[in-house]
Amino acid sequence: MNRRKLLQLLSKGAAAGAFVKLSGGLAQSKIPQGATDIMKVLGTTLREYGERSEFEKDVIRYISPNLRSRHTGADFSPLEKLDGVITPSSLHFERHHGGVPNVNPADYRLVIHGMVERPLMFTLQDLKRLPSVTRTYFIECAGNGQNGYRNPPDMTLTATRSRGLVSNSSWTGVPLSILLKEAGLKEGARWLIPEGQDAAAYTRSLPLEKALDDVLVAYAQNGEAIRPEQGYPVRLVVPGWEGSIQVKWLRRIQVTDTPVMSKDETSEYTDVMADGKIYAFTWVMDPESIITYPSGLQQISRGFHEIRGLAWSGHGRIRRVEISLDGGKTWKQASLEPAPDALSVVRFKYNWVWDGRETVIMSRAWDEKGNTQPTQEEFFAKWARNNRYHYNAIQAWRIGADGKVVNGDKTLAGAPARLGAVGRGGCGGES
Amino acid sequence: MRRKWFYVALSALALSALVLAQGRYQIGTPLSEQEVQEWNIRPSILANGVGLPPGQGTVDEGAKVYATHCASCHGAAGEGGAFTRLVSEPFPITKEVDSVDFAIGNYWQYATTLFDYTRRAMPFATPGILSNDEVYAVVAYILYQNGVIDGSEPMNAQTLPKVQMPARALLELDPNTQKRFPWIKLP
């Protein structure tokens, strides 16, 4: 109830309840006055474009205060404030390399050229005329989980900052295979070099086999035109692969016999391994899961809780998600909802009665190919501590006797990783 | 009237037969090579040097380009500033090197990438303003600062693809990717 309404009520002499509430009196009603008052006045009118409730304004993407520019870097989907499996388009995580271009669809063109029989130019209308496909796929930044490289662990970590560089949408578009068939591939064609229409003219190399398999040239997200920050009017959707190869604002595809080795597949988005090698083309996103409730910086009370979280894998369907309530000693199977789709986020749930004792909870996902998430120790046995990408180790949350939830990851042996040392200006989104 | 509909149906059938025969939808406008080039305003440079334009630049010329367009973000000599560090020792990284210290001399694996990216995306706020000569020059300067070249010859379409980057020795194809795509070879 706002102040004006309260004054109105007082002046009408109908404010006994409100007065009691104001003075904190003993006879306070269990019924919120506002819940019934609202029925005495007309609501708002029809409107042409809907907005969420004014009371939901704190459900926003997380933008690190440490970024030196908001034209490059990333922000995070607020995972623990969302339900279901579809990420609202306005809360899909962002990653840009030169800001979000404001593309006029009337000027939009996609050109396919290089090792093709017929170089072709498509308008947006052309793309929409062709046969369409609608599928739900996750998109995840290769730098998701980058906060996991911090050692000792960041005690202010939330589910958002742990794994919020993933989002899940229904995408509609034309299969790239159709466009390539229209242009006609020449003998020896092996690679595609897609290019974005942003200031950075972002490029990557994509092997033709993947393009012919399931890649979409997408123009719609969750039933409406793709949001500008997700690539309006047209982007690539490369199911299960790292987000950085799913080029947004797609303007050009060059067909070649060799990869380009662009900056974002050499100096970035390459993995430093524990044996000192650097791996290129680490495209597929390994299985991940994150408990979103209860999670970092939340507080719970004794009694019943539905543990909730999200799981996904770039290898296929999630087959099962397990929950540990004792710091990883024993694991129990969570239920999944909806029935898992390939390369799409699934929600997991587990009924739990908290007895008020301090404990550490964890989740780990298994996909249909038998892949699962490593522990931190297992992860760092394979990847180097100065690597920046593909961190998918199990996230632990510690619940204190006071019900407060904080990062439950262990401090690792060896040299500490400096806070902010990871992914400077890069896709980890924090520094 | 019936006859007219018969011919309409017949021509529709003929059109769909034509489309199906070619296995194509016949949508999209064919472009000439000239038109493709007009669209291709920031052409990709492949690791073998294909796509490198005519022109050249020296270390000294590059120092001037760098001071004008790059130093405000990357530091007076490439040591890093508000944005990424560009210059390191000409040795590949080890797993002990902090990732903030990854730079061109110790992490970048292909010299051609430096030309491609600089012409494509730099300077950050005004990409596309450097001439090809200026890009060659600033690439020469940055490679020299990293100790990768000695600066005795200008950078151009012949010299740049021959520059060996120290970190190339560390780069391998991800073994899982190799399993799925056995034909892939890194340049």
In-domain check, residue A101: yes
In-domain check, residue A158: no
Contact map slice: A 301-360 vs B, CB within 8 A: none
Chain A residues with CB-CB distance to B167 below 8 A: 278
Do residues A397 and A363 make contact, with C-beta atoms less than 8 angstroms apart? Answer: no
Chain B residues with CB-CB distance to A277 below 8 A: 170-172
Could you report the predicted ipTM of this complex, rounded to two decimals?
Answer: 0.91
Q: Name the residue among A259, A262, A421 with its Cβ closest to that of B99.
A: A421
CB contact under 8 A, B97 and A256: no
At residue A26, the pLDDT reads 60
Q: How far is CA A25 from CA A11, A20, A30, B124, in A?
A: 20, 5, 13, 62
CATH number where A136 lies: 3.90.420.10
In-domain check, residue A6: no
How many Cα atoms are found within 13 Å in the side-chain-facing hemisphere of A60? 7
Structural domain count of chain B: 1
Q: How confident is the model at residue A9 (pLDDT cuts 50, 70, 90)?
A: very low
Question: Please, what is the average pLDDT of chain A?
Answer: 92
Structure confidence by residue, pLDDT tens digits, A32-77: 999 999 999 999 999 999 999 999 999 999 999 988 889 999 999 9
A135 touches chain B (CB under 8 A): no
CB contact under 8 A, A425 and B83: yes
In-domain check, residue A430: no
At residue B4, the pLDDT reads 65
* H or E stretch covering A191: strand A191-196
Contact map slice: A 241-260 vs B, CB within 8 A: 251-252, 254, 256, 258-260
Structure confidence by residue, pLDDT tens digits, A105-128: 999 999 999 999 999 999 999 999
Q: Rounded distance, CA B51 to CA B17, Å?
A: 41
CB atoms within 10 A of CB A421: 18
Do residues A86 and A169 make contact, with C-beta atoms less than 8 angstroms apart? Answer: yes
In-domain check, residue A185: yes
Q: Is the pLDDT of residue A426 over 70?
A: no
- Sheet containing strand A271-272, strands side by side: A271-272, A278-280, B171-173
Average pLDDT over residues A294-321: 98
* Lookup result for tokens 């669809």: A105
At residue A10, the pLDDT reads 45
Q: Is the pLDDT of residue A31 over 60?
A: yes
Between A28 and B24, the more confident residue is: B24
Structure confidence by residue, pLDDT tens digits, A329-345: 999 999 999 999 999 99
Domain that holds residue B46: 42-170
At residue A430, the pLDDT reads 81
In-domain check, residue B90: yes
At residue A150, the pLDDT reads 87
At residue A20, the pLDDT reads 43
- A222: which strand partners? none
Average pLDDT over residues A140-145: 97
Q: Is the pLDDT of residue A421 over 60?
A: no
Tokens of B96: 């002990």
At residue A414, the pLDDT reads 76
Q: How confident is the model at residue A13 (pLDDT cuts 50, 70, 90)?
A: very low
Q: Crossing angle for the helix pair B132-145 and B59-69, nearest 10 degrees? A: 100
Q: Rounded distance, CA A18 to CA A10, Å?
A: 8
Percent of chain A whose pLDDT exceeds 90: 86
Do residues A179 and A133 make contact, with C-beta atoms less than 8 angstroms apart? Answer: no
Tens of pLDDT, residue by residue, chain B (187 residues): 456 666 656 566 565 655 555 689 999 999 999 999 999 999 999 999 999 999 999 999 999 999 999 999 999 999 999 899 999 999 999 989 999 999 999 999 999 999 999 999 999 999 999 999 999 999 999 999 999 999 999 999 999 999 999 999 999 999 999 999 999 999 9
Domain that holds residue A266: 91-143+167-275
In-domain check, residue A131: yes
DSSP A365-410: EEETTS-BPPPHHHHHHHB-TT--S---PPPEEEE-TTSBEEE-PP
CB contact under 8 A, A262 and B116: yes
Q: Rounded distance, CA B106 to CA B88, Å?
A: 6
In-domain check, residue A116: yes
Give the residue among B76, B73, B103 at the shortest CA–CA distance from B90.
B103
In-domain check, residue B115: yes
In-domain check, residue A306: no
CATH number where B149 lies: 1.10.760.10
Q: Rounded distance, CA A208 to CA A206, Å?
A: 6
Cβ neighbours of residue A90 closer than 8 Å, sequence gap 6 or more: A227
Average pLDDT over residues A139-158: 94
At residue B3, the pLDDT reads 63
